[in-house]
């Protein structure tokens, strides 16, 4: 795996860590959900997207799957 791709996985982690700070300064409800709950859900989806992108861009995962 290229180190440049591995750094992509840290973006959602930073989002999880920053969510508590942001929830102190943002309106408490967004679309009827508490902000921190919505923020953590978005971070979970971002983590899945980042790991999928890393997997597909990694040259070690290309080739025959036999």
The answer on pLDDT for 66 being more than 80 is no
pLDDT digits (tens, 9 = 90+) for 11-59: 888 888 887 787 777 777 778 888 888 888 888 998 899 888 888 887 7
Where do the domains of the chain lie? 3-30+39-60
pLDDT at position 18: 83
Side-chain-side CA neighbours of residue 27 (13 Å): 5
Q: Model-level pTM?
A: 0.72
- Nearest Cα neighbor of 1 from 62, 43, 46, 42 is 62
Q: Using CA atoms, how far apart are residues 9 and 51, in angstroms rounded to an integer?
A: 7
């Amino acid at each position: 795996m290229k180190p440049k791709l591995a750094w992509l996985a840290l973006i959602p982690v930073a989002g999880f860590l920053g969510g508590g700070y942001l929830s102190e300064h943002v309106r408490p409800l967004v679309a009827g959900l508490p902000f921190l709950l919505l923020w953590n859900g978005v971070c979970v989806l971002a983590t899945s997207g980042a790991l999928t992108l890393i997997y597909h861009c990694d040259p070690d995962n290309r080739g025959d799957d036999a």
